[in-house]
Amino acid sequence: MQFHPLPIPDIKLITPIRRGDMRGYFSEVFKDRWFRENIANTQFVQDNESLSATTGTVRGLHFQLAPYEQGKLVRCVRGALLDVAVDIRKGSPSYGEWVSCELTADNGEQLWVPPGFAHGFITLAPETVINYKVTAPYSSQHEGGLIWNDGAIGIEWPIMEKYILSDKDLKLPLLAELPICFDY
């Protein structure tokens, strides 16, 4: 496995090595010891999977508050998505900044998003499936979020004919309205 820090160094792009032949390929997509030594000394407690049927589906930007703050290791197992993370750690030199990566089933790359970041994605292909490991279980009492298209953040989302969001995600606050959720 290889990893690359992104412009916000706490977020890492991980590329598992694929060994292939005429039959296809084999890849180790997660190794606990390697992850703890190279990315974050953390424990994953749950694996989640989501299917987005339509191109242009936006999920997020989501996070969870203490004591259920989540780190996420995200990978695309079918289709393609633009994965986005926004730094919401008050006092961070990159507070309010964002990074994105295109994750596809073909490239096999994964994005590590530690606690303190709002996370979301938009599907670039129909029938996109993502799988992600989390460091804390879901807790509805501790969930939070940011509106996906906050102009003050300025995420460069791909132009789509239509954007599909849940009613809940359409009502999320702007970054300027967000109370302090995480300290740097």
Domain boundaries, the chain: 2-183
Q: Of the listed 132, 138, 142, 184, which one is catalytic?
A: 132
Q: Does residue 26 contact residue 18 with C-beta atoms inside 8 Å?
A: yes
Per-residue pLDDT of the chain (184 residues; tens, 9 = 90+): 899 889 999 999 999 999 999 999 998 999 999 999 999 999 999 999 999 999 999 999 999 999 999 999 999 999 999 999 999 999 999 999 999 999 999 999 999 999 999 999 999 999 999 999 999 999 999 999 999 999 999 999 999 999 999 999 999 999 999 999 999 9
Marked catalytic residue, from 4, 62, 68, 142:
62
Task: Determine whether 4 is an active site residue.
Answer: no
How many angstroms separate the Cα of 53 from the Cα of each of 76, 123, 166, 176, 177? 14, 9, 13, 32, 31
CATH of the domain spanning 2-183, picked from 1.10.1040.50, 2.60.120.10, 3.80.30.20, 1.20.1260.10: 2.60.120.10
0.85 surpassed by pTM: yes
What totals of helices (H) and strands (E) does the chain contain, helices first? 2, 15
CB proximity list for 22: less than 8 A, separation 6 or greater: none
Active site residue 95: no
